[in-house]
Amino acid sequence: MIDHDYSRRSLLKQAGAAVTALIPTMAAAHAVCKPPFPAAAKDTADRRVRETWWVSADPHVGYPEYDEYLRTSVQDVNHIESDYAIVLGDIFEDDRSFLPQFLEEIGGLKHDWTYVLGNHDYDRKSERNSGAPILPVNYFSRQIGCVRIIALSDEMLEYQSHVTELGRNQDRWFKDVLDDAPDVPTIIMTHHCPLTGRRSVSAFEEWLADDIERYNIVLWIVGHAHRWAIDEDLEGFGFDRIKVASLCRKHGDTRPCESALLTIEAGQDRARITMRFRNHLRREWIKVLGREAYELEVKA
Ligand SMILES: [Fe+2]
For residue 44, the cross-strand partners are 144
* Contact between residue 59 and residue 247 where contact means Cβ atoms under 8 Å apart: yes
pLDDT for residue 241: 93
d(CA 215, CA 158): 28
Rounded to the nearest angstrom, the gap between the alpha carbon of residue 273 and the centroid of all alpha carbons in its chain is 16
Torsion of CA 154, 159, 161, 167, to 10 degrees: -20
pLDDT for residue 2: 32
pLDDT for residue 141 is more than 60: yes
Distance between Cα 44 and ligand 1 center (Å):
32
d(CA 39, CA 215): 27
Distance between Cα 108 and ligand 1 center (Å):
22
List, in order of start, the domains of the chain with CATH numbers. Answer: 4-299 (3.60.21.10)
Distance between Cα 49 and ligand 1 center (Å):
32
Which pTM value belongs to this model? 0.84
* pLDDT confidence band for 96 (50 / 70 / 90): very high
Distance between Cα 117 and ligand 1 center (Å):
11
What is the arithmetic mean of pLDDT over 77-90? 96
Q: What 3-state class would DSSP assign to 71?
A: helix
pLDDT for residue 18 is more than 50: no
- Residue type at position 22: L
Distance between Cα 206 and ligand 1 center (Å):
26
What is the arithmetic mean of pLDDT over 37-48? 55
Distance between Cα 251 and ligand 1 center (Å):
9
Closest to 189 in 3D by CA, of 98, 53, 69, 41: 53
pLDDT for residue 168: 86
pLDDT, tens digit, 9 for 90 and up, residues 181-230: 999 999 999 998 766 655 455 555 567 777 888 999 999 999 998 999 99
Closest to 263 in 3D by CA, of 28, 35, 99, 53: 53
Distance between Cα 191 and ligand 1 center (Å):
9
pLDDT for residue 121: 95
Distance between Cα 184 and ligand 1 center (Å):
30
pLDDT for residue 32: 31
Looking at per-residue pLDDT, the higher value among 39 and 98 belongs to 98
pLDDT, tens digit, 9 for 90 and up, residues 167-181: 889 989 999 999 999
pLDDT for residue 5 is more than 70: no
Distance between Cα 179 and ligand 1 center (Å):
31
